[in-house]
Structure 1
Amino acid sequence: IAVAHNGNLINARELREQMEAEGESFDTTNDSEVIAKLIARHFEGDLADAIRKVMAQLRGAYSVAVLTPKHVAAFRDPNGVRPLTIGEIDGGFCVASETCAFGPVGAKFWGDLYPGQIAIVDESGPRIVEGAKPSRPAMCMFEFIYFARPDSRMYGERLYQVRRRMGMRLAQEHPIEADVVIPVPDTGVPGALGYSEVSGIPFSEGFIKSRYIHRTFIQPDQRMREQGVRMKLTPMEEVIEGKRVVVVDDSIVRATTTGQIVRTLFESGAKEVHVRITAPPIKFPCFYGIDMASRGELAAAKWSIEEIREHIGATSLGYLSIEGAVEAVGKPKDHFCLACFNGDYPIQVPEELKKDMFEKPKVGAFATVQSGQRSLDL
């Protein structure tokens, strides 16, 4: 069985210890292997039935693809925290977290897998069955703000346009007199365009991003994050010098990136630097699959907005409200997981649970499994 998993199980350690006590051995330390082992244990000829039994044991966020010699399968947690979608290609089917994966391989969007559903594809074609009773929908808002690609569609909406609307709403909530609006590339671009459109302040590119440096907020230590920011963004002095600058970014996690960006803008001759963020303040850690930080590292968990402004050295600082983010997506507020903003976790998290309780450095995202002496003809 090959398993690909997007999300995070909050009861992975409990499940693993239970299986180890029953004689199971593990080759990795990630929760994806727990899922694979459970499927192997429950399989008795009907893959959908095995997955259904596994879903009854799992707690947390999970969108999972399963590959066997005879099946492609997928299943999604009852809250639908992480996205999962199905594509059609040359009479066959494929599964991906986001719709943007389909175009490059020549596939077309077939449909979303809804919370609690199982998709089974075999030689007879695809079928969708219920795996677990859907709970209240809790799609991760951070997918819309930052994590998913802007050319993907979620809830039927192109994320580029959602992020542009976030910038438009941000301009209404936090107006300012300035000379130029610039984005922090790449994820700040749609929001900056929206801010410029509503405010009437001209848009320009103020930074050029190196294509070889990846997301800095998930680097393992502060030194590497700071070095990554310096290497990633090159300022365009002719756009910045002597100007009152509005710089639009998608979020502030630790304030590492933002503080360096503000310093760079002032060093490049900016008269004023007004930071605008197309997300609400991130005050709580994510236990459902986004590795952002412990609460003690989150800027908004330990400082007020004014204290963050002072820390990053900005002339002013404005965040998008939770209501503004929800309205930009266009779905009811109770359809989202907003836990990183308000601490309201849709799936109960034990108080003692820490983000790294179960996971050590991962061997990989895939786990290949044979269960004991059992022969699996899947």
Structure 2
Amino acid sequence: MTATTAEHDAMRRALALALRGPRGVNPQVGAVLLSPEGHVIAEGWHRGAGTPHAEVAALSQLESGAARGATAIVTLEPCNHHGRTGPCAEALLEAGVARVVYAIDDPNPGSSGGAERLRAAGVEVESGVLADEAHALLDSWLTVQRLGRPHVTVKWAQTLDGRAAAADGTSQWITGAPARADVHRRRAQADAIVVGTGTLLADDPALTARAEDGSLLPAQPLPVVLGERAVPGDAAVRRHPLGFVQYPGDLGAALTDLRDRGVHRVFVEGGPAVAASFVRERVADEFLVYVAPALLGGDMLALRDIGVTSIGEAVRLTLTDVERLGDDLLLVASPAIEGDT
């Protein structure tokens, strides 16, 4: 049986509910319970580590036996493990749920298997409903689970001819105010922001997420400095509310340490050399390229050597979005899946 219209609607609601939960070590998950007639009877979301999972939160709203024969709509496969809370698959079985519809499989071998357990107990299970939307919601958490490192977004601003600065090194401002405001909004969505020592020494960035009036936004990324050169004692980053961390340049070790610190989303903003290093090491999951309608010429390219020597070695990307921000364009892209054209 394929998912019904009511189940699709409930999944959209579950995805919206999931966003109410905190983003962090645990995934954001939402759940909606439908009566056998297809009406919403309860809903819930995961509110953070140690709290009931979304399915249990929804079940807790009902009287004993009220979920018998119901359909559970969940954004992530119900878990099948004992952690701070019990297995959601077991809770659904005990409640008498007859059908479970979820968006994406749990990639964590320690908690997956809920769908199989439910099917073995006679519960009808349907997966893959609004999977693309759920993947977009959980992209950073899924990257950590599958690759063991944070999700990495590489951002740069450039002119139409691909330059990041003028011949004298000046680069502020290539793009206009709307593009800069968009960058700060995206900084606030990240757990960490990365620059190299070259950018740090040249521009002395504060690495904060700020509103248009210059005030700090409520959410701030952890500043990360890549490189061995010392950070000056009067550097603006030293006044960041979260402090900063510095790594000598080993991207693998840096990303592993950031993961261990609970960082799931990294925003790379640190100049042509740093951006190129993430591309060269194939650890970039998303690209944000802000393009200004200007020409600079010269040698100050927005991206340095990425190890490509022939057209056949080109790093192919899939363009996922194009947005106009004032006079500038924002191009959003991700690495193309091998075999795509």
Q: Of Structure 1 and Structure 2, which has the larger fraction of its residues in helix?
A: 1
Normalised TM-score (structure 2): 0.31
The structure whose RCO (Cα within 8 Å, separation 6+) is larger is 1
